[in-house]
Amino acid sequence: MLQDTDNPIYDLIAKEKKRQIEGIELIASENYTSTSVLQAMGSILTNKYSEGYPSKRYYRGNQYIDQIENIAIDRAKELFKVDHVNVQPCSGSSANFAVHLAFLNVGDRTMGMSLDAGGHLTHGSKVSVSGKYFDSVNYGVGDNGFINYDQVRKIALDHRPKLIWTGLSAYSRVIDWKEFRKIADEVGAILIADIAHIAGLIATGHYPSPVPHADVITTTTHKTLRGPRGAMIMCNEQYAESIDKAVFPGTQGGPHNHTIAAIAVALKEASTEEFKKYSQQVILNAKKLADELTKKGYTIVSGGTDNHLMLTDVLKSVNLSGKEASLALECANITVNKNAVPNDSRKPWDPSGVRIGTAAITSRGMKEKEMEKIAQYIDTVLRNSNNEDLIKKIKLEVKNFTKNFLIPGIN
């Protein structure tokens, strides 16, 4: 047993478990998996090496691994209504790099949403390989915090990228996939939809699907999909061979079989009526929390949310940087992440905003009534960030508050 063989690691895991139980998790890219997903992740499947794809492996002894991977693929096809799925990418970043590799040569042009507007590092940020190996151009959002599709079209026409990335990391509104399709067609670009944050909402019909419009779709399998930390690439059949070769042997070796099994479990869970209700509640909670914070004087970028997250300009709201706000909240057992806001004048490591999400707290059974409480906690901490005694008092309240909400797979 781990407790006997490596007590320091066992002890740290126990402490992390306690931290999760006693805290309010508002990081938009985090969630809690089920016991079944955890069991698959911790299984003996991690022992097997399986370079290649089902029925095309470089190692023997993969008859059961093949069946597991095929089940994961079939469930993803059914859930998202797509032609082809690769379930081997180890993460969203590696999946996105594989897509770049499938269609571009070094120096070719790619286009995506800028990081401070709500995009992702792997959509062409200059500090990412996607911006170092490829000639990346970016689009942003208008003064209202919404994507300006006329401006996107102009940038695309001016620069003629081979790939156009859509999707979000901190953009809280519905993306018009159809309009992006028109823009991509105008410049002859391949359209990629990165749905890492919103996959669970799309799978249940609570957020529009890019499937009729995008050529390729990438996603992580945690976040709103509530699975393990892995990724998938989905595409039209015409791009299947290019995508598969870009993943293996292009960017990865042997797949993580235990993760693929856990993805299969999560996909089955995501097809249930219970999960559909969960996804709806995630959005209801996000809207309620955004409304409550707005009432208390906080500036929410774009004025609200259509998905599971919101971006809050805390510098404008309470004269704290994102770093200062996130540190103060952590002292009260409330976890958020610092985040740039559109046209942020501050540096990325200490930006003007924080990103807040409701996927994890919804997994604990919290609903609109609890969002009122959480908004009050946030407001009290941020407006009294130098009052250590008050923050300690809020921390104790948070510990007592969370006792009423079990964590799947932990409590």
Query: What are the tens digits of pLDDT across the range 156-212?
Result: 999 999 999 999 999 999 999 999 999 999 999 999 999 999 999 999 999 999 999
Instruction: Report pLDDT for 286.
Output: 98
Catalytic: which of 220, 251, 299, 362?
220
Catalytic: which of 25, 116, 194, 215?
194
Catalytic: which of 10, 48, 49, 296?
49
* Amino acid identity for residue 364 in this structure: R
Instruction: Report pLDDT for 259.
Output: 98
Catalytic: which of 10, 30, 48, 51?
51
Read off the pLDDT of residues 282-334 as tens digits, 9 standing for 90 and up: 999 999 999 999 999 999 999 999 999 999 999 999 999 999 999 999 999 99
Residue 162 known to be catalytic: no
Residue 346 known to be catalytic: no
Band (pLDDT 50/70/90 cuts) for residue 124 is confident
Domain range list for the chain? 37-270, 277-402
Instruction: Report pLDDT for 148.
Output: 96
Band (pLDDT 50/70/90 cuts) for residue 269 is very high
Read off the pLDDT of residues 232-257 as tens digits, 9 standing for 90 and up: 999 999 999 999 999 999 999 999 99
Residue 139 known to be catalytic: no
What is the fold, at CATH topology level, of the domain defined by 37-270?
Aspartate Aminotransferase; domain 2 (3.40.640)
* Amino acid identity for residue 335 in this structure: T
**What is the average pLDDT score of the chain?**
97
Task: List the beta bridge partners of residue 334.
Answer: 24
Mean pLDDT across the stretch 363-385? Answer: 98
Residue 126: is its pLDDT beyond 90?
no
Instruction: Report pLDDT for 26.
Output: 98
Residue 348: is its pLDDT beyond 90?
no
CB-CB contact of 319 with 281 (8 Å): no
Residue carrying the six token digits 């409550």: 292
- pLDDT above 70 as % of the chain: 100
Mean pLDDT across the stretch 347-358? Answer: 95
Instruction: Report pLDDT for 181.
Output: 98
* Cα separation, 264 vs 255, whole angstroms: 14
Residue 49 known to be catalytic: yes
Read off the pLDDT of residues 178-192 as tens digits, 9 standing for 90 and up: 999 999 999 999 999
Mean pLDDT across the stretch 375-381? Answer: 98
Band (pLDDT 50/70/90 cuts) for residue 86 is very high
Do the two domains 37-270 and 277-402 of this chain adopt the same fold? no
Catalytic: which of 162, 223, 287, 323?
223
Burial class of 256 by CB neighbour count within 10 A (0 to 12, 13 to 18, 19+): buried
Mean pLDDT across the stretch 358-375? Answer: 98
Band (pLDDT 50/70/90 cuts) for residue 384 is very high
* C-alpha distance from residue 315 to each of 338, 342, 388 (Å): 11, 13, 20
pTM over cut 0.75: yes
Catalytic: which of 162, 226, 229, 364?
229
Mean pLDDT across the stretch 27-48? Answer: 97
Mean pLDDT across the stretch 398-410? Answer: 96
Residue 229 known to be catalytic: yes
Instruction: Report pLDDT for 405.
Output: 98
Residue 368 known to be catalytic: no
Instruction: Please tell me the class of the 277-402 domain.
Output: alpha beta
